[in-house]
Amino acid sequence: MKEFQFTINDPVGIHARPAGLLVKKAAEFQSNITINGNGKSADAKKLIKLMSLGIKQGMEITCQIEGEDEDIACEAMINFFKDNL
């Protein structure tokens, strides 16, 4: 299992647009990708679940990746968060 922490920089947090992009990026991988934050967790491949986390600017999330392609998926998710959130 791979894991990383990231502090959200987007002024609105994880809102509809980046959440949709995040789901698309996560769907590219076979690994299970879980986002933990604000005392909750969600499957990164489920838009409504991600939105329900209520992640705002300045909050720290933990992304856990487990599966066959976890190394590639982890690197891609780190880059996604840096570029989009």
Look up residue 9 and give its two tokens.
């920089």
Active-site entry in 9, 11, 12, 15:
15
Backbone angles phi, psi at 73, to 5 degrees: -65, -40
Q: Is 62 an active-site residue?
A: no
- Say if residues 9 and 3 touch (Cβ distance below 8 Å): no
DSSP state of 52: T
Active site residues: 15
